[in-house]
Chain A
Amino acid sequence: SAVISQKPSRDICQRGTSLTIQCQVDSQVTMMFWYRQQPGQSLTLIATANQGSEATYESGFVIDKFPISRPNLTFSTLTVSNMSPEDSSIYLCSTRDPKDNEQFFGPGTRLTVL
C-alpha cells in the first residue's frame, strides 16, 4: 500500500485565519480524497482531488471554503479558509489503489480553531 504523510499533524488557529494542509504520497496515484472527522464522529468526504482537473466537492462543501490543489500525482493540499470553531476537526487525506479498490488514509491533521 502507498505511504501517505500529512503536514502539519496538528495546529491551533485563530478564528478568521486559513490553514493549508499538505498530503504527500510515496507513489503516483490517480485519485486522492479529503475527509473530515469531527470529534467522536465518522468520516465525511469533503472532495475528490483529481490531477489535471477541478476537485469534485460533496454536498455541503464548497470550493471557497475548502480550496484544493493537486499539482501532480503524488501531492495535494486542502485549505480550510476563514476558519471558525466549527471547523475544529481531524482532516484526513486518502488514496485508493485502482487495482483492487483498497483505500488508505494519511495520519490526519488535528485542527483546533479558537
Chain B
Amino acid sequence: GENVEQHPSTLSVQEGDSAVIKCTYSDSASNYFPWYKQELGKRPQLIIDIRSNVGEKKDQRIAVTLNKTAKHFSLHITETQPEDSAVYFCAASSYSGAGSYQLTFGKGTKLSVIP
C-alpha cells in the first residue's frame, strides 16, 4: 500500500517568513495530492491540491510543487501570518481496488508562526 512520509514534524517561523513542508510517497501510481490544515479542535480543511499532470500550483500565499520522478511534493507558505499556525497534513491518493481510491495521510506538521 501507499506510504507517505512528512517532514518536519514541527516548524516555527517568524511572522512574514516562509514555511516549507515536504512529503514523499511510495506508490508511483498515486495521482492526487491534497494538503489539509487543521486548527485546534477543528476539522481538517482542504487548502490546496495538485494532480500528477501538473508540476506546480499556486493560490495566493500558498503553493504546492510535485516531483513525480522523485515522488515528493511540498507545501510552500509565503509571508506567514499568526493565523497560519495549525497542523498541516499532506496526503496521497492511490488506487485501493474495486474502482476505489483512498487517501493516505502523512503524520502532520505543527506550524507555529511567531508574531
Bound pair (A, B): yes
| Minimum CB–CB distance for A112 against chain B, Å | 14
Q: Does A64 contact B (CB under 8 A)?
A: no
Interface of A is mostly: strand
Known contacts A42-B107, A42-B108, A101-B32: A48-B43 contact under CB 8 Å: no
Interface of B is mostly: strand
CB–CB B49/A106 < 8 A = no
Chain B residues with CB under 8 Å of A96's CB are: 101
Q: Does A92 contact B (CB under 8 A)?
A: yes
Q: How large is the interface on B (under 10, 10 to 19, 20 to 34, 35 or more residues)?
A: 20 to 34
CB contacts under 8 Å to A, within B35-72, are 42-46, 49
| Minimum CB–CB distance for A53 against chain B, Å | 9
CB–CB A43/B46 < 8 A = no
CB–CB B102/A45 < 8 A = yes
CA distance A102 to B43 in the complex (A): 15
CB–CB A101/B89 < 8 A = no
Name B residues whose Cβ lies closer than 8 Å to a Cβ of A: 32, 34, 42-46, 49, 89, 93, 96, 98, 100-103, 105-108
Q: Can you give 18 A-B contacts (C-beta < 8 A)?
A: A31-B100, A42-B89, A42-B107, A43-B44, A43-B89, A45-B103, A48-B96, A56-B100, A92-B43, A96-B101, A102-B46, A102-B49, A103-B34, A103-B46, A105-B43, A105-B44, A105-B45, A107-B42
